[in-house]
Amino acid sequence: MEYARSVQSPNAYWGEQAKRLHWIKPFYSVKNVSFDPENVSIRWFEDGYLNVCENCVDRHLANNADKTAIIWEPDSIGAPRLISYRELHDEVCRLASGMKALGVRKGDRVAIYLPMIPEAIFSMLACARIGAIHSVVFGGFSPEALAGRIEDCGAKLVITADEGLRGGRCIPLKHNVDAALAHPGISTVSHVIVMRHTHGEIQWNDQRDVDYQALTRSASPDCAAEPMNAEDPLFILYTSGSTGKPKGVLHSSGGYLVYAAYSHERVFDYQPGDVYWCTADVGWITGHSYVVYGPLANGATTLMCEGLPNYPDETRLGEIIDTHNVSTLYTAPTAIRAFMAKGDAPFRDSRRSTLKIIATAGEPINPAAWNWYHDVVGRGQAQVIDTWWQTETGGVMITPLPGVDRHKPGAATQPFFGVCPQLVDNEGHEIEGPGEGNLVITDSWPGQMRTLWGDHERFVQTYFSAFPGKYCSGDGARRDEQGDYWITGRVDDVINVAGHRLGTAEIESALVAHGKVAEAAVVGCPHDLKGQGIYIYVTLNQGFLPSPEIHEELRQWVRKEIGPVASPDWIQFARDLPKTRSGKIMRRILRKIAANEFDQLGDVSTLADPAVVPQLVDARVNRA
Ligand code: WT7
């Protein structure tokens, strides 16, 4: 069996798969990994050299120069933009030359804060071409959040646009960059490249700002691809953890690309000629691996949609599928639920007969949404693929395979090739057979993150200390009688709101930075559309009384500090929070109260003051 071979002989298996890429200097060593918490070290193809951009672009010029690499659909209905591999090469080389002219060198960090326009892909690939490490920041993050990420990685350059468009709304990206760079902690950024997209009004700083078009039109179309060691970093992507500030997940060049490309082919049954559409924003890992790197490494046509697939209305999704003969659709359960809420009617006027795979990722999919996706969007003919993975894993880890349809709505089913999942109890003992526990991975795979930028200790602490010798995913899972995996959700203080991963600690520290807030606790709460919503408990400082004004002020404050992605759904004022005698907030109880599960509060006798619980129950925000 192929899976057995992949996990029993990883060197042979991955050595073979890595041949799909062009190596400037071949590798002899395949896997060199230690999960020992004393010395975590993850290296794949470590003596090989390649260039990721060359693999995603130049390699396809010989036979497929005129093939469409990118189909771009604008936010509002209008002519799509088609970009061939030849044009992609030209655009990327010009931008790479321009970046070099601005002094960007191998190993430098570049922050990319762009909307979903082709220039976002050009920017990522241009970085890869010259060996700069990109850090894409989602446009839904605030200037404060952007500043934190720029500061943490010490970016030299920022690439942005005047404005982004999403569902008809403007996002003031350049304005946000200006605000972020005004932060006192930021001293490394020498230039900001600005793409004129909407031509909206912006401030201009002659010393710092560079016009994207002017730069690339005058730059050389020749720019040699930098030979990179397989273990040289390709990108940093910040993601939320259960504690502290966002973590800079670092991915490699060789192993990451092998894994993104190979998983893209196998999970989505990619065939030459297929048009592949992943709706994720490039600001998330799904956008990195399955809008950009996986599909382009495979010479595919990747469809990129600027706005929302339900804008101007719900018929847009089917129209785009029909117009471009899309064969694979990859989206999030949140989007599926939003469509489902509007019913089947918008799908009557499109055929969607080219769809063969319809996939989802990012959060557990409820069986009702799974069935609706299968029956309506896929007309009962396309296979639903529910993929479990994480920013940290680089690519899909647990997934059904095309053609092996078990029809289990809600199950991610089986490990991908080379992936060794295990369930363990809280003491770390392996759970065999059917059961439920913490989902860990016992051996490395090429797409695994290598470290956290600038903080290897935190990397080891976060992922390898809870269950020594194993990668701890932070998710819980159940395994059924057939050995299929069902992801049950995070077991830590991370919440998943509309498929966006947020740390409750981050939101709490934003709240307590507000002058009127004494204390705050944030928990996830079931939400019909978003899967989870953000439920906040706040205690106000002396002298302030709960009011609709303060409620709104705090809501806006969180949006400003973190961004619209973290917009609170419910805020409950509390006189006090449930704490243990040592002062630890009991989030377990707060989660139950938020979820309306008053009969499942458990033992409250260990609280410093058990009387706060009935007060909180009484005052629970009416969500009906
Ligand atoms: C977290 C990772 C899928 C990559 C993009 C999100 C949750 C992800 C599933 C799934 C149930 C899922 C997990 C995971 N998650 N996929 N198919 N079923 N839950 O990457 O932002 O790093 O979030 O998303 O809780 O830990 P991310």
Q: For residue range 354-370, list pLDDT tens digits in order.
A: 999 999 999 999 999 99
* Residue-level pLDDT at 624: 44
Task: Report residue 170 CA to chain centroid gap.
Answer: 22
Residue 496 CB less than 6 A away from ligand 1: yes
The answer to whether 416 touches 267, Cβ cutoff 8 Å, is yes
pLDDT at position 399 over 80 = yes
Residue 123 CB less than 6 A away from ligand 1: no
* Residue-level pLDDT at 107: 98
Residue 475 CB less than 6 A away from ligand 1: yes
The Å distance, Cα 362 to ligand 1 centre, comes to 4
In whole angstroms, what is the distance from residue 204 CA to residue 334 CA? 38
What stretches of 362-481 show up as alpha helix (H) in DSSP? Answer: 367-372, 456-464
The Å distance, Cα 388 to ligand 1 centre, comes to 6
The answer to whether 616 touches 588, Cβ cutoff 8 Å, is no
Residue 370 CB less than 6 A away from ligand 1: no
In degrees rounded to 5, what are phi and psi of residue 369?
-70, -40
Residue 490 CB less than 6 A away from ligand 1: yes
Residue 364 CB less than 6 A away from ligand 1: yes
The answer to whether 73 touches 305, Cβ cutoff 8 Å, is yes
Residue 424 CB less than 6 A away from ligand 1: no
Helix (H, G, I), strand (E, B) or coil at 151: helix
What b/e readout covers 162-172, taking b as 16+ CB neighbours within 10 angstroms? bbbbbeeeebb
In whole angstroms, what is the distance from residue 70 CA to residue 68 CA? 6
Counting from 1 in the atom list of ligand 1, the atom nearest the Cα of 500 is 21
**What percentage of the chain exceeds 70 in pLDDT?**
100
Q: Which residue is listed with tokens 């973190």? A: 562
State the number of CA atoms in the 13 A half-sphere of 568 facing the CB.
28
Residue 387 CB less than 6 A away from ligand 1: yes
pLDDT band at 74, cuts 50/70/90? Answer: very high
The answer to whether 189 touches 150, Cβ cutoff 8 Å, is yes
Q: Whose C-alpha lies nearest to ligand 1, atom 8? A: 362
Residue 390 CB less than 6 A away from ligand 1: yes
In whole angstroms, what is the distance from residue 312 CA to residue 37 CA? 51
Q: What is the pTM of this model?
A: 0.95
pLDDT at position 605 over 90 = no
* Residue-level pLDDT at 623: 56
Q: Whose C-alpha lies nearest to ligand 1, atom 14? A: 390
Q: How many residues does the chain have?
A: 624
**DSSP collapsed to 3 states, 197-232:** CCCCCCCCCCCCEEEHHHHHHHCCCCCCCCCEECCC
The Å distance, Cα 45 to ligand 1 centre, comes to 27
Angle, CA 259 vertex, CA 258 and CA 264 arms, to 5°: 105
pLDDT tens digits for 19-29? Answer: 999 999 999 99
58-72, 481-495, 572-586, range with the lowest pLDDT? 572-586
Residue 393 CB less than 6 A away from ligand 1: no
Higher pLDDT, 252 or 598: 252
The Å distance, Cα 551 to ligand 1 centre, comes to 31
In whole angstroms, what is the distance from residue 240 CA to residue 237 CA? 10
Strand pairing partners for 538?
Answer: 520, 573
- The pair of structure tokens assigned to 165 is 């468009």
Other CB atoms within a 10 A radius of the CB of residue 318 amount to 22
Q: Whose C-alpha lies nearest to ligand 1, atom 12? A: 363
The Å distance, Cα 84 to ligand 1 centre, comes to 32
From the list 501, 486, 280, 468, the residue with the least C-alpha distance to 390 is 501
Q: Which residue is listed with tokens 């819980």? A: 476
- The pair of structure tokens assigned to 620 is 């629970």
Helix (H, G, I), strand (E, B) or coil at 55: helix
In whole angstroms, what is the distance from residue 96 CA to residue 54 CA? 12
pLDDT tens digits for 437-463? Answer: 999 999 999 999 999 999 999 999 999
Task: Report residue 382 CA to chain centroid gap.
Answer: 25
Ligand 1 pocket mutation, candidates 250, 251, 366, 389, criterion most atoms within 8 A of CB: 389
Residue 152 CB less than 6 A away from ligand 1: no
Strand pairing partners for 44?
Answer: 31
Q: Which residue is listed with tokens 């490394």? A: 188
In whole angstroms, what is the distance from residue 174 CA to residue 201 CA? 10
Residue 388 CB less than 6 A away from ligand 1: yes
The answer to whether 442 touches 423, Cβ cutoff 8 Å, is no
Ligand 1 pocket mutation, candidates 141, 235, 486, 487, criterion most atoms within 8 A of CB: 487
The Å distance, Cα 500 to ligand 1 centre, comes to 9
In whole angstroms, what is the distance from residue 335 CA to residue 337 CA? 5
Residue 501 CB less than 6 A away from ligand 1: yes
pLDDT at position 265 over 70 = yes
Task: Report residue 93 CA to chain centroid gap.
Answer: 27
pLDDT band at 582, cuts 50/70/90? Answer: confident
pLDDT tens digits for 113-163? Answer: 999 999 999 999 999 999 999 999 999 999 999 999 999 999 999 999 999
The Å distance, Cα 499 to ligand 1 centre, comes to 7
Residue 400 CB less than 6 A away from ligand 1: no
Residue 58 CB less than 6 A away from ligand 1: no
pLDDT at position 323 over 90 = yes
Angle, CA 501 vertex, CA 579 and CA 318 arms, to 5°: 140
Model ipTM value: 0.99
531-545, 549-563, 595-609, range with the lowest pLDDT? 595-609
pLDDT tens digits for 289-309? Answer: 999 999 999 999 999 999 999
Q: Whose C-alpha lies nearest to ligand 1, atom 2? A: 390
In whole angstroms, what is the distance from residue 445 CA to residue 42 CA? 9
Counting from 1 in the atom list of ligand 1, the atom nearest the Cα of 386 is 17
Counting from 1 in the atom list of ligand 1, the atom nearest the Cα of 364 is 11
- The pair of structure tokens assigned to 172 is 């003031």
* Residue-level pLDDT at 144: 95
Residues whose CB is less than 8 angstroms from the CB of residue 38 and which lie 6 or more positions away in sequence, other chains included: none
In whole angstroms, what is the distance from residue 83 CA to residue 64 CA? 12
DSSP symbols for 233-265: EEEEEEE--SSSSPEEEEEESHHHHHHHHHHHH
The answer to whether 503 touches 246, Cβ cutoff 8 Å, is yes
The Å distance, Cα 496 to ligand 1 centre, comes to 8
The sign of the torsion formed by the CA atoms of 405, 406, 409, 414 equals negative
Between the alpha carbon of residue 107 and those of residues 146, 303, 513, 605, the distances in Å are 20, 30, 35, 55
On average, the pLDDT of the chain sits at 96
Strand pairing partners for 34?
Answer: 41
Average pLDDT over residues 407-415: 95
Q: Whose C-alpha lies nearest to ligand 1, atom 4? A: 390
Strands (E), 370-511: 383-387, 421-424, 430-431, 435-441, 451-452, 471-479, 485-490, 494-497, 500-503
The Å distance, Cα 478 to ligand 1 centre, comes to 15
The answer to whether 517 touches 541, Cβ cutoff 8 Å, is yes
Counting from 1 in the atom list of ligand 1, the atom nearest the Cα of 474 is 26
In whole angstroms, what is the distance from residue 423 CA to residue 434 CA? 10
Residue 306 CB less than 6 A away from ligand 1: no
pLDDT at position 411 over 90 = yes
What b/e readout covers 394-422, taking b as 16+ CB neighbours within 10 angstroms? bbbbbbbbbeeeeebbbbbbbbbbbbbbb
